[in-house]
Structure formats: structure tokens, C-alpha cells
């Protein structure tokens, strides 16, 4: 059975601390990878929708964030979902792991999992252009990419 991955970008006005993440100054965190064993069914990625992004720049510590909410189908244990992204045209690459939020009914009579992934940059002056691709990984370690048909997704935050 194939599963689908849908994505939506939402506004975020603050970056929350998470004790399981690495803290890198300026009060924001950068996710680190879990060492847990990966397991879930074969995955395909079907689409992404961007709705908005947020920028906040206090005088003492500027940062820019893009938040993506993912809908993964079907429900299965131990999914590995996230984004690979950059703000410098892929000269450097950053990885952000998605965090599971909830399971909810889908339009096919089953259930889907809701995940969130945050991409935070504190080093680039505005406007900031994010380039990113999304991924999901199955129990056999097979990673499937949603990279906008090879073009990667782009979002400029002013």
C-alpha cells in the first residue's frame, strides 16, 4: 500500500526551546537526529502547499523561520520525516527533523499523521530566501523526496 505526503507552510512568530534539541545561541534550537530504529510502510510524496512564513528581528538577536506542516499517510510507527534546506543556494546544507503532532481522519476514510518541521536561520540578513526539499523514510530506510520535481521549493521572507 502506498502512502502520501502532503505539506503546508504556516506562520510562526516565535521559536520554542526544546530540551531534546541542540541550542545554538540567540534562543533558538536546531533539531538533532534520533538514534531510534526507523520503521514504517512504503512512502510516496504527493504535494506541497505554501501559505506563509514569518520573520522576527529583535535588535539583539535576529532570526528568520519557515515552518512546514506535513500530512503523512498511512499511520504507522516510527516515521522519519523532515526537510533539507539552505539559505545560501546550497553552499551549505541544513537538516531539520519533523516532530509528530497528532493523528487525524483523512479524506479517504483512514487516518493520517500530522508532522511539523521548522527551518530557522539566524545568520542571514533579510530578505532571506529558503530553498528546501521534504522527505519521508520507511522502515527499510528507503527515503522518498518531495523536491518540487527537481526544482526545490523556494520561499523568500522579507
Q: What is the CATH number of the domain that holds 127?
A: 2.60.40.10
- Domain span at 140: 5-157
Q: CA geometry: angle at 66 spanning 87 and 103, to 5°?
A: 135
CB 63 within 8 A of CB 128: no
Look up the pTM and report it.
0.66
- Give per-residue pLDDT as tens, 38-96: 333 455 454 444 545 555 555 566 778 888 888 877 777 778 999 999 999 999 999 99
Specify the number of domains making up the chain.
1
CA distance 114 to 74: 11
Amino acid at each position: 500500500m502506498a502512502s502520501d505526503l502532503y505539506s503546508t507552510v504556516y506562520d510562526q512568530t516565535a521559536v520554542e526551546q526544546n530540551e531534546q534539541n541542540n541550542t545554538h545561541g540567540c534562543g533558538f534550537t536546531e533539531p538533532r537526529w534520533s538514534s531510534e530504529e526507523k520503521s514504517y510502510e512504503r512512502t510516496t510524496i504527493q504535494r506541497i502547499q505554501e501559505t506563509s512564513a514569518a520573520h522576527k528581528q529583535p535588535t539583539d538577536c535576529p532570526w528568520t523561520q519557515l515552518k512546514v506542516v506535513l500530512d503523512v499517510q498511512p499511520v504507522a510507527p516510527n516515521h522519519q520525516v523532515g526537510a533539507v534546506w539552505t539559505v545560501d543556494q546550497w553552499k551549505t546544507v541544513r537538516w531539520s527533523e519533523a516532530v509528530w503532532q497528532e493523528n487525524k481522519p483523512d479524506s479517504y476514510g483512514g487516518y493520517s499523521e500530522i508532522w511539523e518541521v521548522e527551518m530557522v536561520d539566524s545568520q542571514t540578513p533579510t530578505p532571506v530566501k529558503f530553498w528546501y526539499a521534504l522527505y519521508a523514510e520507511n522502515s527499510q530506510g528507503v527515503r522518498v523526496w518531495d523536491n518540487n520535481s527537481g526544482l526545490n521549493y523556494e520561499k523568500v521572507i522579507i
